[in-house]
Amino acid sequence: MNPRRASSSPCAPNPPAGTVGKVDPKASQSSRLTRPDGSPLRVLVVDDEVNLAELIAMALRYEGWDVTMAHTGRKAVDLARELRPDAVVLDIMLPDFDGFEVLRRMRSFDPNVPVLFLTARDAVEDRVAGLTEGGDDYVTKPFSLQEVVARVRALMRRAGAQQAESSSVLVVGDLTLDEDSHEVFRGGDEITLTATEFELLRFLMRNPRRVLSKAQILDRVWNYDFGGQANVVELYISYLRKKIDAGRAPMIHTMRGAGYVLKPAE
């Protein structure tokens, strides 16, 4: 963590219990944006605070976007050159060189990518410097994840991102989930789920091939408000497996000590 940071907490100070890092799920299900070919938008998140970067990435992935993280300026430039993201969330204070230098290098090969600066600096001259260097917008720490998501969405919309016409259907391998009708099918067979099972499966399908920890699942599906069994995640993963994987090649896998991942059957 960079010792120069003005604040140790990126989110709003002293929020009510269970609200840190929340993103309104209703907001994420409307006006899903995509690339013109319908593929997910790519967002690069650059912050040397790993936990903060992961929180931001999870919030953006919940929008259906493909998110990659970098924790140094040099890695950020390399990834931007390789991936050509549709937007960049860029912290100013980085361990090797600052966000302004990252932006200058990015602009040399991608002059139009929208950039949202994250900064702990609240002086007017610092904010002006970020915009003068070519940044498109900024948020000052402490901030809410809802604000970051909203600003990234606005930047990409202005840059020409397309609204998906069929954004309500998630597909992973032969498994489909319709967010509007709440219908789930695998291989053409309809699967009936409870409300909680549906929310858990939706979260897994919005993050295919990504290992999700129990803490991340609790935050998204139960909002940390669940007061019952401590093994509730394992319990509902078991329920899903019995319905999704029964008699078929498994799609839901346990990564021991790390969490769970959903991926197409092999």
CATH 3.40.1160.10 is right for the domain spanning 169-262: no
When pLDDT is cut at 50, 70 and 90, the band that residue 16 belongs to is very low
pTM as predicted: 0.54
Distance of alpha carbon 139 from alpha carbon 117, whole angstroms: 6
Residue 252: the pLDDT is 95
pLDDT in tens, 30-50: 456 777 666 788 999 999 999
The answer to whether the beta carbons of residues 260 and 217 sit under 8 Å apart is: yes
Residue 250: the pLDDT is 94
Residue 206: the pLDDT is 86
Average pLDDT, the chain: 80
Q: What percent of the chain has pLDDT over 70?
A: 76
- Per-domain residue ranges of the chain: 25-163, 169-262
Same topology between domain 25-163 and domain 169-262: no
Task: Match domain 25-163 to its CATH number in 3.40.50.300, 3.90.330.10, 3.30.930.10, 3.40.50.2300.
Answer: 3.40.50.2300
pLDDT in tens, 228-262: 555 889 999 999 999 999 889 999 999 998 899 99
Residue 236: the pLDDT is 94
